[in-house]
Chains A and B, each alone.
Chain A
């Protein structure tokens, strides 16, 4: 596979141009390769590797357009990495949602627990700010956190259902 085709090794301008056109036009059907190349290329149904193309025509191959098929280990590793990343982001989303609920309730409680809550006297600027935060910021914070918790419970359940379906397919 890595040896060059016997008639392609001499530097011939016409063959070099033909190889370049083949390398840039993707994906090429497996049967079409046999007519353009010698017996070494026609015996195999696999796509030509970078080594074949480099050996066949020096400098005539556009390397940016040559694809190497990913092996099974590569896709497994990528899948595991994506799963880890998904778990990390889901964990962060859980933390943010729970923090929103806790901070919202905390703000509300702090506003209600302030000294001037009994409406006697004039509240200070800090107390007014705290009460404004407690009344206007706390409800959306808690509601946003609840929406987040519900969403992530639903997403987690759907992912579990999909995983069990895939497991059943594999047997």
Chain B
């Protein structure tokens, strides 16, 4: 357990964790936005105003970011697993290695 916690103390692991959390948060926001816009069908009807234009833009952004954000979340999780495995292996083969 101590070795695993030590293996997590690396700046690459921290960066991958930030990437993964950002990805999960972005996917959650995008899905929430899509669900909300599906429920409010009348949101974009009527005259086009500056506010409606921003709604349209946010709609497009929420569609666009789902793929990259999912990739970032999965990549962050996989990267952390691979890095922790590599650092634990280095600790196993070289017991005096830095954590």
Output the residue of A113, A157, A167 with the most chain B CB within 10 A: A157
**0/1 interface trace, chain B 56-89, chain A, CB 8 Å (1 if under):** 1100110010011001100110110011001101
Q: A117 to B10, alpha carbons, bound, how many Å?
A: 45
Q: Chain B nearest CB: distance from A145 CB in Å? A: 8
In the complex, whether B90 has a CB less than 8 A from a CB of chain A is yes
B75-A150 in contact (CB<8A): yes
**0/1 interface trace, chain A 52-82, chain B, CB 8 Å (1 if under):** 0000000000000000000000000000000
Give the number of residue pairs across the A-B interface with Cβ within 8 Å: 86
Chain A residue, CB-CB nearest to B74: A150
Within 8 A of B (CB), among A76-120: 108, 112-113, 117-118, 120
Contacting A118 at CB < 8 Å: which of B53, B79, B86, B95?
B53
B76-A154 in contact (CB<8A): no
Q: A147-B71, A162-B90, A167-B98 given as contacts; is B48 within 8 A of A118 (CB)? A: yes
In the complex, whether B30 has a CB less than 8 A from a CB of chain A is no
In the complex, whether A169 has a CB less than 8 A from a CB of chain B is yes
In the complex, whether B25 has a CB less than 8 A from a CB of chain A is no
B19-A156 in contact (CB<8A): no
A168-B48 in contact (CB<8A): no
Q: A139-B64, A146-B75 given as contacts; is B53 within 8 A of A157 (CB)? A: no
In the complex, whether B97 has a CB less than 8 A from a CB of chain A is yes
Q: A117 to B53, alpha carbons, bound, how many Å?
A: 9
Q: What does DSSP make chain A's interface, helix, strand, loop or mixed?
A: helix
Q: A138-B64, A165-B93, A165-B97 given as contacts; is B71 within 8 A of A154 (CB)? A: no
B79-A153 in contact (CB<8A): yes
In the complex, whether A11 has a CB less than 8 A from a CB of chain B is no
Number of B residues with CB within 8 Å of any CB on chain A: 33
Q: Chain A nearest CB: distance from B59 CB in Å? A: 10
Contacts of B94 in A (CB 8 A): 164-166, 168-169
Q: A153 to B84, alpha carbons, bound, how many Å?
A: 12
Q: Chain A nearest CB: distance from B83 CB in Å? A: 4
Q: Chain A nearest CB: distance from B46 CB in Å? A: 13
A interface residues, Cβ below 8 angstroms from B: 108, 112-113, 117-118, 120, 138-139, 142-143, 146-147, 149-150, 153-154, 156-158, 160-162, 164-169, 171
- 9 new A-B contacts, CB < 8 A, other than A146-B71, A150-B72, A160-B12, are A108-B64, A113-B57, A146-B19, A147-B71, A147-B75, A157-B87, A161-B83, A164-B97, A169-B94
